[in-house]
Structure 1
Amino acid sequence: MKNYSKLTPEGVHDVLFDQCRAHREAQRRLTAIFARRGYREVITPGLEYYDVFSLQGAALPQQEMYKSTDSGGRLLVFRPDSTLPIARMAAARLQSRRRPIRLYYCQSVYRAYPELSGRSHEAPQMGVELLGAAGLRADLEVMAAAAEAMGAVGGDYRIELGHAGLFRHLVQRLELPPESREEIRATIETKNYGALGGLLDPLGDSPEAKALRRLPRLFGGEEALAEAESWRLDGGAAEALHYLRTLYTALGEMGLGRRLMVDLGLVQRNDYYTGVVFSGYVQGHGGPVLTGGRYDNLCGRFGPDMPAMGFAMDMDAAAALLEPGMFQERAAQVLVHGEPGFEPQAQRELMRRTAGGQVCEGSVWETLEEALEYARSEGLPTVVAVGRSVRTIEIADMGGRV
C-alpha cells in the first residue's frame, strides 16, 4: 500500500515564504478597501450541514462537495461556497439588523473537482456581500468595490458583464427539463459551439433557440448589447437587456468604460444568481480572478426574502499577481548566541533588540564557533555573544577565521 505521508492530496498545495507574504499583503489591501466602505468581517464555519447546499434552486453539484458525518450521523460538508452560509447566517443571526447589511469575509472553500482538472480543491477567497439592497445604486456600489479590489492587486484588469436573467428567461420559454437546461448552460459557459448546436437543433428556429445559439458569441463592447437588443425579445429577457445597458452606461460614467466588456455567454454555474453577473480578469492570468453577481432569491431560502449582491476574489490568484513586485523581506542582521549557562540572558537580549525593531535570530548552537560558522554561511553580518559580558562580533572583521 502506497504511503502518502509526504504528499498533499490532489488539488491542494503548501504555501511558502514569499507566497505567504503575498497572501497577507493582498488580504491587507482588500481589508482596507472593504472596511473603508463600511463592510464588517464575518467568518462562517468550515463545516456545514449538507442541507445548506442542497436547497432547491440553489443547490451545488453534490459530487463536488467533500462530505463527512457528525457523531449523530448527520451529513456534513466542508464549506464549498461562502455565499450560501452567509445567507444562512443572515437569516439566523442578523434578522434584527437594519438594512442594508454590509459583510466581508476571508476564508477558504473546498470543491472536489475531477482528477487532472488543474483546479484547486482548496480555494482561499475574500469577498463582500451587500444584503437587503436592490437596484442600480446597490449594484454600482458592489461593482465599484470589485473594481477597486481588482485595481489593488492586478493593475491592468477588465470586468466582463452579463445577466443571469437573460439565460433563465430564454430557457423558460423553451420549457426544457432541468437536466437539459444545465447541459445548455454548461456548453454556453465553455463556449462549446458544436455541442451547443447539437442541443439546440431539435428545438427548431424559435427566437429563443436562435438567441441561445448566439449567446456565447456575444462578447465585446456596446456592439454586443446592440445585437442582442436587435432580437426584439420581450418579457423578462428584454428587461434583463435593458437593465444591463443601464448598468453598463452608469459604470462608464464612473470612469470604468475602458475596463468593461459585455459577455452575454456569462452564465454562472451557481444557479442562485438572478440578475447581473460579472467576472474580473487580469492581463497575463488565464482564469477569472474575481466572480460575483446578484442573488435576490437566495436569502429567502433560509428566511425572509432579502435582495443581495456580492463577489469573491481568488486569493491564490491575487497573491500570484502581487508576489513578483513584493519588496524584499528584511533578512536577519544579528545572531544572538548564549554561552553555556547564559541562555536566558541571551533570550532577554534578543527580546530587547527585536522590541527595538531589529531583525534577529537566536542561536541554537552549543558553541560560539558553531554559531559563527552558521552566521557566515547564512550571511548574517553580526553575532552577539552573551556571557559574563555582551560581545558584538562582526563577521567581516574576522576575515577567513571562524
Structure 2
Amino acid sequence: MFQKPRGTRDFLPDEMEKRRFIEDRLRETFIAFGYREVQTPTFEHLELFTAKSGEGILDEIYAFKDKSGRDLALRPELTAPVMRMYCEKLKREPKPLKLFYFGNCYRYDRPQKGRYREFTQAGCEIIGYNSQAYMAELIALAQALLKNVSLKDFKLRIGNLDFISYMLHDLSVGEKTRKLMFPLVDKKMFDEVKDLLEEEGFSGEGINRLLDFFECKTIDELKEFIDNGQSIQEFEELLKFLEMFDIKDYEIDTAIVRGLDYYKGVVFEIDLPKLGAEKQICGGGSYELLPIFGEKPLPTAGFAMGFDRILVALEGEKIFPSKGLAAYIVPVAEDSLDYAIGIARELRNAGISVDIDLSCRGLSRSLRYASSIGARNAIIVGEREKRENKITLRDMEDGKQRMVDLKELMEIFSERV
C-alpha cells in the first residue's frame, strides 16, 4: 500500500475549497495595493540558496544532482528565486517594482503541527523604493491581508536591526558570540543571554545596558541607547507613516533578530498567539540581496506569510462560504438526456456549477446522490419538461419543487450567485 511521504499532505475537495478561498482573498488584496503576481521554478540551482544562506542550509533542503550532474535544489523559500528572476529579467522595469507570489516550498524539517516538509508560502517584494512611506505601506499590506481573510487578535512587532548592531558593536560582541546569542534573543531568553555574556567575559555594566536596551518600547527610550541619528530618524519617519496608514496598534521590539545575514534596517513580525509555539504568521523587513547577484545595492523589502498557518488559525471559524454544487441535473430517462445535456451546457456557459447524471440511474437514486455531494438544487428533466421546454427545480434542503423555464432558471441562479 503506497502512502504519502512524511511531512507532506493530501488536500481533499473540501480542504481545497478553503485553500482557494484564502488564496483568492490574499490575491485580491495584493492587487489592490498595486502588486503584480510572478511565479518561479520549483527547483533552482543549489548555489542560489547557498549564496544567500551559506553552506549550513544544505542540512535543511532537498538538494540533488540532475542527469547532467548539475547541483539543483527544491526551493526552501521564494525571496531568493524572485530576486534571481528580477536580476535576469526585470531590472530595467520602472521602480519601485512591486511583486507578489504563491508557491510550494520544501525544507527537511522535523514534521510537527503547523510545520511540514512541503508547505505553501505567500509573499511579496518591493524593489527600488526611496522612502519609509513604502515600508509603512508594506506593513499596512501585511495587516490588510490578515484582516481580509478574517484573522483577528494578531500582534504586530516592529524593530530595526541597525539598533541591535549598534549595541553589539558598542559592546564589542564578536561574530562567534552573536551566533550563540541570537537564538536566545529571538526566544526572549534574556537570563540565558546574560549567562552567555558573563561566560564570555563581558562586563556586568555592559551586559545590563544591553538587557535594558531589549526592554525599550518607545522612541524616547531608544534615544537613550542609540547614538545613530540617521537610524533613529528613519524609524521615527516609519512610525509617522504608519499612523497615516491607520496602524496604531503595534509594539516596538528591539529583540527581533531575523536574518541578520541579509536583513538591514526595519524588520517586523506578526504573531497570532492562539497558535502557540508556531504563532508567527508573517515576517519581513528591508534587506540587501542584490549584491549577491553582482548587482548594485538597491533598497528592497518584503515579507512572507505562512499560508498553512493561516488555514490552521481559521479552522473552526465560520468564514468559508458553503459553495458546493449549484445543481445536479437528473434526466429521468435516456430519452431526456439530450435535453438535460443542453441545459447543463447553458448553465456552465453562464458560470454556474452543475453536474449531470449521465448514467440515467433513475430519480430516487439520483436525488440521493445529489444530497450526498451537497448539491443545493436538483434539476429534474422528464418527458413533460422536455415537451414544454421547462425543468423542475427541487430545493434539496426543504424538498420544495416547482416547474420553471430556462430563462427563469438562469435568473434564479444569477440572483443567488
The TM tier, using the shorter chain, reads 0.7 to 0.9
Q: Could you state the TM-score of these two structures normalised by the residue count of structure 1?
A: 0.82
Task: Provide the rounded CA distance (Å) in 2 between the counterparts of 1:333 and 1:301.
Answer: 55
Residue 367 of structure 1 aligns to which amino acid in structure 2?
A: R
* Residue in 2 that maps onto 1:191: 188
Q: For residue 45 of structure 1, give the secondary structure of its aligned residue in structure 2.
A: coil
- Aligned pair 1:167/2:164, yes or no? yes
* Residue in 1 that maps onto 2:255: 265
> Per-residue CA shift, 1:336-369, capped at 9, x if unaligned?
3474587666433322333356543222546316
- 1:128–1:58: structure 2 CA closer, same or farther, 3 Å change rule? farther
Task: Provide the rounded CA distance (Å) in 2 between the counterparts of 1:379 and 1:49.
Answer: 46
Greater mean deviation of Cα atoms: 33-42 or 386-395: 386-395
* Residue in 2 that maps onto 1:27: 23
* Residue in 1 that maps onto 2:57: 61
- 1:341–1:27: structure 2 CA closer, same or farther, 3 Å change rule? same
From 239, 250, 253, the equivalent of 2:241 is 250
Check conservation: 1:66, 1:112, Cα contact below 8 A.
Answer: yes
Task: Provide the rounded CA distance (Å) in 1 between the counterparts of 2:381 and 2:116.
Answer: 47
- 1:312–1:60: structure 2 CA closer, same or farther, 3 Å change rule? farther
TM superposition shift of 1:388: 10
Task: Provide the rounded CA distance (Å) in 2 between the counterparts of 1:127 and 1:268.
Answer: 16
Q: For residue 68 of structure 2, give the secondary structure of its aligned residue in structure 1.
A: coil
> Per-residue CA shift, 1:19-44, capped at 9, x if unaligned?
33332233223322322332211111
- Aligned pair 1:9/2:9, yes or no? no
Q: For residue 23 of structure 1, give the secondary structure of its aligned residue in structure 2.
A: helix
* Residue in 1 that maps onto 2:43: 47
The CA RMSD measured in Å over matched residues stands at 3.3
- Aligned pair 1:355/2:349, yes or no? yes
TM superposition shift of 1:166: 2.4
Task: Provide the rounded CA distance (Å) in 2 between the counterparts of 1:301 and 1:379.
Answer: 53
- 1:103–1:207: structure 2 CA closer, same or farther, 3 Å change rule? farther
State the number of aligned residues.
385
- 1:29–1:374: structure 2 CA closer, same or farther, 3 Å change rule? closer
Task: Provide the rounded CA distance (Å) in 1 between the counterparts of 2:21 and 2:305.
Answer: 14
TM superposition shift of 1:18: 4.2
TM superposition shift of 1:132: 1.0
Greater length-normalized contact order (CA 8 Å, ≥ 6 residues apart) = 1
From 125, 130, 138, the equivalent of 1:134 is 130
Task: Provide the rounded CA distance (Å) in 2 between the counterparts of 1:57 and 1:317.
Answer: 24
Residue correspondence of structure 1 range 374-385 to structure 2 within 5 A = 374-375=369-370, 382=378, 384-385=380-381
Residue correspondence of structure 1 range 54-93 to structure 2 within 5 A = 54-55=50-51, 61-93=57-89
Residue correspondence of structure 1 range 184-333 to structure 2 within 5 A = 184-201=181-198, 202-205=200-203, 209-214=207-212, 218=215, 221-222=217-218, 225-231=219-225, 233-235=226-228, 239-257=230-248, 259-269=249-259, 271-282=261-272, 284-286=274-276, 287-295=279-287, 297-302=288-293, 303-321=295-313, 324-333=318-327
Task: Provide the rounded CA distance (Å) in 1 between the counterparts of 2:144 and 2:393.
Answer: 49
TM superposition shift of 1:45: 1.0
Task: Provide the rounded CA distance (Å) in 1 between the counterparts of 2:176 and 2:337.
Answer: 70
Task: Provide the rounded CA distance (Å) in 2 between the counterparts of 1:144 and 1:393.
Answer: 47
> Structure 2: any 5+ residue segments left out of the alignment?
402-417
Check conservation: 1:19, 1:320, Cα contact below 8 A.
Answer: no
> Structure 1: any 5+ residue segments left out of the alignment?
none
TM superposition shift of 1:186: 0.9
Q: For residue 246 of structure 2, give the secondary structure of its aligned residue in structure 1.
A: helix
TM superposition shift of 1:301: 1.2
Percentage of matched positions with identical amino acids:
24
